[in-house]
C-alpha cells in the first residue's frame, strides 16, 4: 500500500512557554523549540506499521519553510521511506484551505492508496484532512483510532465518538483518514537515527512544480487577534509554590464535594 | 604401604581388567567433557570484543580476595560459611581426586602425598560430607525463600541443587570407603594402616568395617573405587549444564571482572564515539551482541539469588530479577548453541524471547546486585546494552520519550527554558546575601558548582542549590555556576541507552567547562558527580559536596552549632551513585558526626547494601509496573532503625523519600533532609 502522511512542524506545548506577543498578532516565537505535530507522529507510526504488515511504502509531506525539513527527517528516521517538502514564498500566509489545496496538488502527482493526516495540529483547526478529501473527491473518516486492512480496496477503521466509544466503519480506498492520538505507541527516534538520514535528499516542490498559482492559496481566513481570556467570575488563580497550590486545590475540591 | 587388598588396577570387573576399565572411564569422561566444553565455549568466539587482560595486578588481587578467600560469601553468614567450607574442602580434595584417577591405572600407586596431606584430605572430605548434608537439608527441607522460582520463570530449581549435593556426598563417601576398607583389611592382617585422625569420615568407616570379612572388604574396596570414578566423571560432565558450571567458570569470571566502578561500558569496545553513527545497529539486540565476558557471566551464575534478594526493583514487585536475567540468558544460550544440531535462528531478538521490555526498563542501575554477587557478575552494563538496542529500534516507553526529546531540545528533561536555568539564584532573600557568579567568559572562578537539571528547575530542589551555594560561600570558596550554558549531565540519558544524546550533552558541557578555566568541580547531585567523574573525560577533578564540606570542617573553615533538638535520631541514607558506585560512605557520615549533639543510627541496609530510593534522572518519568514504591520500603527501614530524620545527599533521593513518607503516612514520625540543608542549617555564622 502506498501511503502519504501529511505532517506539520509546530511549537511543542510541552517544551515551550507559549505567550501571546505584545501586539497580539501571534505567539511570541523567540526561543521556541519545534517538533513534529503530535497527531501527525501517530499517523506516521500507523503508516509504518501498516507497511511493515502488508508491504508498500510511506511518504511524508509537509507544507512549510526550510526548517520543516527537520521534522521530515525525523519521520524518515522513524521509518518513512521518502520525504517531500512543499515550500514556496507564495505558501507563507496561507490558511487551512490553502494548505489542503497545496497537498491536493502533491497527492495528484503521485499514486497513493491512503492519505493520513493528524486529527489536528497544535496550532491548527483540525480542518485540513476533511478539505483535502473533499477536494480530491474521495472518502474521508475523521478521528480514526484503529485501522485494519481488509484487502487492497477496503479498510476497516474505528472512530472515536462521544463518550470514548468507538464506531467501526468500512471505507474504500483511496481515502483520507485523520488520525487520533492513542491509535498506537509511536516508536522513539534517537539522535543516531536522525543523523543517519541527515544526507538523504528531500525534494522541495514549489508552486510552479505543483502547478498552482499564488491566488489559489491566498488566505480567505484572516487572523485578527490573539488574547488571553479575561479572568471571569468563578475563576480563581491559585498562587504559591507547587505544594501550596496542591494543598489549596485539594481543600477546594473537598469543599465543593469533588473529593470525599 | 602394606596392601592386603587387590588394588583396582590389579583386579578385573566383570572380566574387564581394571587397568583397561580405569583408562576407559577417564578417557570417555574426558572426551565427553571436552566436547561439551568446546560446544559451550565456541559461541564466546562469536561474541563482541571485550578487553579483560589489562591491570593484571588488580585482577590477581581480586582473584585472591573474592575468588580464593571468598570475600563476599559471609555477607550471607550461614550459607556463606557453608560455601567457604565446601570450597576449601574441594580445593584440598582436588589433588586427591586427580590422584585417585591414577590409582586404577598404575599398580602400586596409592594416591598418597604423605601423612600431612592424608590427614588434611580426610578432614576436608569429612567437612564436605557434613556441609553437603547440611546444605541438602537446607535446600530440600527448609527451602530458604531466596531460592524460590516465581512461576513465570519456570520450575523450581531444588532438584538440580540436591542432585549435585548428592553427587558430592557420593564422591566423598566412596573415597572414604575406599580408604577405610583398605585400612580395615590392614588392621585385620596386623599391619599398621596409614594414620587417620579420629572422628574423620575414613576413621569412622574403618571402625565400622572392623568386623567385616576380607572378601566383603575387597568388594567394598573395588566397588567404591569404581563408583567414585563413575560419579567423578558424571559430575564433571554435568557441570556445564546448570548452576554448577560456576565450579569451572567462577574463578576466571572473578579474574576477568570489571576493574572500575561507576562507569558503563562503551557501546562497542574499540569503536570511538564518532564512529558510532556509521554502525548499522548498536546495542544488544540478539544474543551475539553481548560481549564474550557477558556470556561467561551467564555461565557463572550460581543461582544463589543474592542479587535478587538485594534488588529494589525485585523487592517492590517490578518485573525484574537480576538472577533470572542470568538464568534466562544462560538457558537461552544453551538452546541457541545446542550440544548437537543447528544454531538457533540467526536474527532472533532477545526482547520477546529471553527478555522483556519492562524487565529491562525496571532497573534503577543502583548496583546492589553487582555489589552482592559472589562471582562478580555484571548486570548494569548488560541492561544498558539491551536498552541501547531498544533505543536503536525505537522501543522506548512513551513516558520516557517526552523527557528525552526535551533533553535534546532544552537540555533538561522537563523541557524548561534554558534561560531559566539559573533562576534559582534569583530568589530575593537569597540573592541579596549570596550573589552567585555565573561563569560566562567575563566572570571566572576557581571552582565550578555543577548544579544539574533537577536542582536548577525543581521548586523544592532549588533549596538544595541555594543551601549548597551558601555553604560554598561561607567556606570562602571562590565558585561560580555555568547558568544558561549548563546542560543536563546526561547521566541517566546514557544509562537509559540513548548514547548519542548523552554524548551530545557530554560534549557540550565538556566544552563549556573547559572554556571556563575552573580548577575543580563540585556538585551536590551524585548522578552529576558520577557522570562528570566517570563518564566525562579530561575534566578538572570532581568532588561531591559532602567531600568538600568534610575538608572544610577539617581545615576549620566550617564549624557547626549544636542541633536544637538533640532527642532526634538521624539516619544516613546512602545514595547509590555516591555510595556503591563511588564508594563514598564515610565522608557524609563524618560530616554528621561533626555536628554537636547529633544522634545517629544506621539502618540495617546501609553503606554498600543501601536500598535504592526509586532512582533518579529519567527514572522519575518512567511508569513501572510495581506493587509499591521503593521509597516506601526505604522509609519503613528508617523507621525500624528508630530514626526520626533521614539524611540523604542526593536531590533524587530527597524527592523520592519525601514522597514516600507521605505515601506511607509517616509525616508525623519521619522527616527527610538533604545533607546540604542540614549543614546549611547548622553552620556557625557570625
For residues B517 and B510, the answer to whether their CB atoms sit within 8 Å is no
* Interchain CB contact of B415 with A (< 8 Å): yes
Question: Does residue B48 form part of some domain?
Answer: no
* Interchain CB contact of A31 with B (< 8 Å): yes
Within 8 A of A188 by CB-CB distance, chain B residues are 391, 394-396, 400-401, 404
CB contact under 8 Å between A189 and B394, yes or no, is yes
Same domain, B130 and B76: yes
Helix (H, G, I), strand (E, B) or coil at B449: strand
Exposure of B522 in the CB half-sphere (CA atoms within 13 A): 24
Q: What are phi and psi of B653, to 5 degrees?
A: -60, -45
* Interchain CB contact of B461 with A (< 8 Å): no
Across the interface, which of B392, B417, B499 has its CB nearest the CB of A31?
B417
* Interchain CB contact of B277 with A (< 8 Å): yes
Same domain, B419 and B461: yes
CB contact under 8 Å between A188 and B404, yes or no, is yes
* pLDDT of amino acid A260: 67
* Interchain CB contact of A192 with B (< 8 Å): yes
Cα(A205)–Cα(A217) distance, integer angstroms: 15
User: Would you tell me how many other CB atoms lie within 10 Å of the CB of residue B202?
Assistant: 28
A62 closest CA partner among A73, A52, A77: A73
Find, in chain A, the residue whose alpha carbon is nearest to that of B496. Answer: A190
Instruction: Tell me how many domains chain B contains.
Output: 4
Spacing of C-alpha B341 from chain mean position: 35
CB contact under 8 Å between A192 and B392, yes or no, is yes
What number of residues does chain B have?
686
For residues B201 and B126, the answer to whether their CB atoms sit within 8 Å is yes
Q: Which long-range contacts (CB under 8 A, 24 or more apart) does A193-199 make?
A: A193/A77, A193/A78, A193/B392, A193/B394, A194/A73, A194/A74, A194/A77, A195/B277, A195/B500, A196/A77, A196/B277, A197/A73, A197/A76, A197/A77, A198/A73
Residue whose C-alpha cell reads 510495581 in the numeric block: B626
Cis amide prior to A174 (ω within 30 degrees):
yes
Mean pLDDT, consecutive 10-residue segments, chain B of 686 residues? 78 91 95 98 96 96 96 97 96 90 82 84 95 95 94 92 95 95 92 88 94 94 95 96 96 96 95 90 96 98 96 97 97 96 93 96 97 97 98 96 95 94 95 94 93 97 98 97 97 97 97 96 98 97 98 96 96 98 98 97 97 95 95 97 97 97 95 98 91
CA B537 to chain A, closest CA, distance in angstroms equals 21
CB contact under 8 Å between A191 and B406, yes or no, is no
User: Would you tell me how many other CB atoms lie within 10 Å of the CB of residue B431?
Assistant: 13
Find, in chain B, the residue whose alpha carbon is nearest to that of A198. Answer: B277
Same domain, B459 and B513: yes
CB contact under 8 Å between A187 and B395, yes or no, is yes
B469 closest CA partner among B481, B485, B457, B460: B481
CA A74 to chain B, closest CA, distance in angstroms equals 12
What's the maximum distance between 2 C-alpha atoms anywhere in chain B? 102
What's the maximum distance between 2 C-alpha atoms anywhere in chain A? 64
Question: Does residue B32 form part of some domain?
Answer: yes
* pLDDT of amino acid B257: 96
Interface of A with B in 130-189 (CB under 8 A): 185-189
* pLDDT of amino acid B2: 56
CB contact under 8 Å between B498 and A191, yes or no, is yes
Same domain, B515 and B653: no
A107 closest CA partner among A67, A152, A59: A59
Q: Could you state, in order of their start, the residue ranges of all structural domains in chain A?
A: 2-217, 234-260
Mean pLDDT, consecutive 10-residue segments, chain A of 260 residues? 96 81 80 92 98 96 95 96 96 92 96 96 86 97 95 93 87 96 94 92 96 91 82 78 88 81
A-B interface: how many C-beta pairs under 8 angstroms?
Answer: 67
Residue whose C-alpha cell reads 546540604 in the numeric block: B676
B606 closest CA partner among B573, B651, B639, B567: B573
Q: What is the CATH number of the domain that holds B609?
A: 3.40.50
CA A86 to chain B, closest CA, distance in angstroms equals 25
Question: Which cell is A9 given?
Answer: 512542524
Question: Does residue B452 form part of some domain?
Answer: yes
Residue whose C-alpha cell reads 537439608 in the numeric block: B137
Tell me A180's DSSP state. P
Find, in chain B, the residue whose alpha carbon is nearest to that of A42. Answer: B398
Question: Does residue B388 form part of some domain?
Answer: yes
Same domain, B584 and B487: no
* Interchain CB contact of B618 with A (< 8 Å): no
How deeply is B580 buried, as exposed, middle or buried, from its count of CB atoms within 10 A (0-12, 13-18, 19+)?
buried
Q: What is the pTM of this model?
A: 0.94
Helix (H, G, I), strand (E, B) or coil at B500: helix
Same domain, B74 and B19: yes
For residues B468 and B524, the answer to whether their CB atoms sit within 8 Å is yes
Same domain, B223 and B292: no
Close Cβ partners of B564 (under 8 Å, ≥ 6 residues apart): none
* Interchain CB contact of A235 with B (< 8 Å): no
Close Cβ partners of B554 (under 8 Å, ≥ 6 residues apart): none
Across the interface, which of A186, A187, A195 has its CB nearest the CB of B277?
A195
> Nearest 10 degrees: CA dihedral of B563, B564, B567, B570?
-40
Question: Does residue B247 form part of some domain?
Answer: no
Same domain, B538 and B619: no
Secondary structure E strands in B328-465:
437-438, 447-450
Expressed in angstroms, the distance from the first to the final Cα of chain A is: 53
Cα(B509)–Cα(B486) distance, integer angstroms: 6
Helix residue ranges per DSSP H, B440-517 = 453-457, 462-474, 491-495, 499-516
Cα(B610)–Cα(B613) distance, integer angstroms: 9
Close Cβ partners of B514 (under 8 Å, ≥ 6 residues apart): B538, B539
CA B318 to chain A, closest CA, distance in angstroms equals 22
Spacing of C-alpha A166 from chain mean position: 21
In angstroms, the Cα distances linking A71 to A33, A44, A189, B167, B682 are 12, 12, 11, 65, 53
Same domain, B591 and B544: no
Testing the interface with B: which of A33, A188, A199 to mutate, by most B Cβ within 10 A?
Answer: A188
* pLDDT of amino acid A214: 87
* pLDDT of amino acid B107: 76
Same domain, B417 and B389: no
Task: Name the CATH topology of A2-217.
Answer: Rossmann fold (3.40.50)
Helix residue ranges per DSSP H, B209-305 = 214-238, 246-255, 292-300
* pLDDT of amino acid A244: 87
Out of B395, B419, B449, a domain closes at B395
Same domain, B79 and B194: yes
CA A16 to chain B, closest CA, distance in angstroms equals 7
Question: Which cell is B649 given?
Answer: 545527599
∠B506-B511-B514 over CA atoms, to 5°?
Answer: 120
Out of B554, B585, B610, a domain closes at B554
Structural domain boundaries, residue B32: 8-41+54-241
Same domain, B334 and B293: yes
Within 8 A of A14 by CB-CB distance, chain B residues are 402, 406, 415
Find, in chain B, the residue whose alpha carbon is nearest to that of A197. Answer: B277
Question: Does residue B1 form part of some domain?
Answer: no
Find, in chain A, the residue whose alpha carbon is nearest to that of B497. Answer: A190
Sheet of A165-172, strands arranged across:
A165-172, A154-161, A140-149, A175-179, A114-118, A2-6, A57-63, A82-86, A204-205
Question: Which cell is B175 given?
Answer: 573415597
H or E element at residue B453: helix B453-457
Amino acid at each position: 500500500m502506498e501511503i502519504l502522511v501529511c505532517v506539520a512542524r509546530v511549537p511543542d506545548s510541552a517544551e515551550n512557554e507559549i505567550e501571546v506577543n505584545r501586539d497580539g498578532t501571534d505567539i511570541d516565537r523567540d526561543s521556541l523549540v519545534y517538533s513534529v505535530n503530535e497527531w501527525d507522529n501517530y499517523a506516521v507510526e500507523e503508516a509504518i506499521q501498516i507497511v511493515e504488515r502488508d508491504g508498500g511504502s510511506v511518504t511524508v509531506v509537509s507544507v512549510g519553510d526550510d526548517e520543516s525539513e527537520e521534522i521530515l527527517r525525523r519521520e524518515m528516521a522513524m521509518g518513512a521511506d521518502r520525504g517531500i517538502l512543499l515550500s514556496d514564498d507564495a505558501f507563507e500566509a496561507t490558511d487551512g484551505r490553502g494548505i489542503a489545496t497545496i497537498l491536493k496538488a502533491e497527492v495528484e502527482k503521485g499514486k497513493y492508496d491512503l492519505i493520513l493526516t493528524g486529527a489536528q495540529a497544535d496550532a491548527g483547526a483540525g480542518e485540513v484532512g476533511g478539505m483535502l478529501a473533499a477536494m480530491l473527491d474521495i472518502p474521508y473518516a475523521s478521528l480514526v483510532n484503529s485501522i485494519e486492512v481488509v484487502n487492497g480496496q477496503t479498510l476497516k477503521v474505528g472512530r472515536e465518538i462521544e463518550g470514548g466509544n468507538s464506531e467501526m466503519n468500512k471505507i474504500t480506498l483511496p481515502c483520507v483518514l485523520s488520525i487520533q492520538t492513542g491509535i498506537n505507541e509511536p516508536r522513539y527516534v534517537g539522535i543516531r537515527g536522525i543523523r543517519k538520514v541527515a544526507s538523504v535528499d528531500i525534494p522541495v516542490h514549489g508552486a510552479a512544480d505543483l502547478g498552482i498559482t499564488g491566488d489559489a492559496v491566498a488566505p480567505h481566513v484572516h487572523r485578527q487577534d490573539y488574547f488571553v481570556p479575561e479572568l471571569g467570575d468563578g475563576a480563581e488563580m491559585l498562587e504559591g509554590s507547587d505544594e501550596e497550590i496542591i494543598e489549596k486545590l485539594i481543600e477546594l475540591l473537598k469543599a465543593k464535594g469533588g473529593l470525599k | 604401604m602394606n596392601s592386603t587388598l587387590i588394588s583396582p588396577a590389579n583386579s578385573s570387573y566383570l572380566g574387564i581388567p581394571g587397568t583397561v576399565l580405569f583408562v576407559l572411564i577417564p578417557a570417555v569422561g574426558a572426551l565427553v567433557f571436552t566436547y561439551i566444553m568446546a560446544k559451550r565455549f565456541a559461541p564466546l568466539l562469536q561474541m563482541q570484543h571485550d578487553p579483560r587482560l589489562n591491570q593484571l595486578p588488580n585482577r590477581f588481587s581480586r582473584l585472591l580476595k573474592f575468588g580464593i578467600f571468598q570475600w563476599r560469601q559471609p555477607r550471607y553468614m550461614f550459607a556463606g560459611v557453608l560455601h567457604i567450607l565446601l570450597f576449601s574442602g574441594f580445593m584440598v580434595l582436588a589433588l586427591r581426586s586427580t590422584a585417585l584417577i591414577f590409582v586404577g591405572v598404575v599398580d602400586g600407586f596409592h594416591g598418597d602425598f604423605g601423612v600431612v596431606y592424608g590427614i588434611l584430605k580426610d578432614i576436608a572430605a569429612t567437612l564436605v560430607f557434613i556441609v553437603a548434608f547440611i546444605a541438602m537439608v537446607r535446600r530440600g527441607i527448609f527451602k530458604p525463600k531466596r531460592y524460590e522460582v516465581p512461576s513465570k520463570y519456570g520450575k523450581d530449581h531444588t532438584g538440580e541443587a540436591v542432585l549435585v549435593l548428592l553427587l558430592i556426598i557420593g564422591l566423598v563417601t566412596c573415597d572414604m570407603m575406599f580408604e577405610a576398607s583398605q585400612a580395615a583389611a590392614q588392621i585385620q592382617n596386623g599391619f599398621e594402616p596409614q594414620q587417620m585422625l579420629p572422628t574423620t569420615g575414613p576413621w569412622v568407616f574403618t571402625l565400622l568395617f572392623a568386623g567385616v570379612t576380607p572378601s566383603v572388604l575387597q568388594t567394598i574396596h573395588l566397588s567404591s573405587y569404581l563408583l567414585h570414578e563413575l560419579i567423578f566423571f558424571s559430575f564433571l560432565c554435568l557441570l556445564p549444564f546448570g548452576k554448577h558450571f560456576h565450579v569451572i567458570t567462577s574463578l576466571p569470571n572473578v579474574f576477568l571482572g570489571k576493574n572500575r566502578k561507576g562507569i558503563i561500558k562503551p557501546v562497542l569496545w574499540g569503536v570511538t564515539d564518532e564512529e558510532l553513527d556509521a554502525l548499522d545497529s548498536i546495542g544488544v539486540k540478539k544474543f551475539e551482541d553481548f560481549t564474550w565476558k557477558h556470556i561467561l557471566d551467564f555461565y557463572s551464575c550460581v543461582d544463589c539469588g543474592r542479587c535478587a534478594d538485594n534488588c529494589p526493583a525485585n523487592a517492590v514487585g517490578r518485573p525484574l530479577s537480576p538472577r533470572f536475567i542470568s538464568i534466562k540468558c544462560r538457558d537461552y544460550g544453551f538452546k541457541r548453541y545446542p550440544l548437537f544440531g543447528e544454531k538457533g535462528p540467526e536474527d532472533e531478538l532477545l526482547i520477546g524471547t529471553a527478555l522483556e521490555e519492562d524487565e529491562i526498563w525496571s532497573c534503577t542501575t543502583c548496583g546492589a546486585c553487582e555489589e552482592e554477587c559472589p562471582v562478580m557478575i555484571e548486570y548494569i552494563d548488560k541492561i544498558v546494552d539491551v536498552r541501547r538496542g531498544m533505543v536503536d529500534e525505537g522501543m522506548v516507553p512513551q513516558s520516557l520519550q517526552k523527557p528525552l526529546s526535551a533533553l535534546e531540545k532544552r537540555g533538561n528533561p522537563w523541557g524548561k527554558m534554558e534561560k531559566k536555568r539559573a533562576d534559582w539564584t534569583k530568589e530575593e532573600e537569597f540573592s541579596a546575601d549570596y550573589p552567585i557568579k555565573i561563569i560566562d567568559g567575563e566572570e571566572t572562578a576557581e571552582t565550578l558548582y555543577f548544579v544539574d537539571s533537577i536542582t536548577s528547575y525543581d521548586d523544592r530542589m532549588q533549596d538544595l542549590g541555594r543551601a549548597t551555594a551558601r555553604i560554598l560561600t561561607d567556606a570562602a570558596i571562590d565558585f561560580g555556576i555555568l547558568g544558561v550554558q549548563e546542560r543536563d549531565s546526561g547521566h541517566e540519558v546514557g544509562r537509559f541507552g540513548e548514547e548519542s544524546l548523552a554524548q551530545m550533552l557530554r560534549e557540550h558541557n565538556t566544552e563549556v567547562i573547559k572554556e571556563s578555566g575552573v580548577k575543580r568541580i563540585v556538585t551536590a547531585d551524585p548522578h552529576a558527580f558520577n557522570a562528570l567523574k566517570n563518564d566525562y573525560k579530561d575534566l578538572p577533578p570532581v568532588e561531591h559536596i559532602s567531600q568538600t564540606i568534610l575538608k572544610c570542617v577539617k581545615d576549620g573553615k566550617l564549624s557547626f552549632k549544636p542541633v536544637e533538638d538533640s532527642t532526634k535520631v538521624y539516619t544516613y541514607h546512602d545514595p547509590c551513585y555516591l555510595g556503591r558506585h563511588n564508594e563514598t560512605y564515610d565522608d557524609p557520615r563524618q560530616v554528621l558526626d561533626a555536628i554537636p549533639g547529633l544522634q545517629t543510627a544506621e539502618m540495617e541496609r546501609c553503606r554498600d547494601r543501601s536500598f535504592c530510593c526509586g532512582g533518579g534522572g529519567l527514572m522519575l518519568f518512567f511508569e513501572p509496573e510495581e506493587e509499591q514504591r521503593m521509597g516506601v520500603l526505604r522509609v519503613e527501614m528508617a523507621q525500624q532503625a528508630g530514626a526520626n530524620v533521614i539524611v540523604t545527599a542526593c536531590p533524587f533521593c530527597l524527592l523520592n523519600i519525601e514522597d514516600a513518607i507521605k505515601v506511607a503516612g509517616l509525616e508525623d514520625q519521619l522527616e527527610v533532609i538533604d545533607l546540604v540543608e542540614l549543614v546549611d542549617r547548622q553552620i556557625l555564622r557570625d
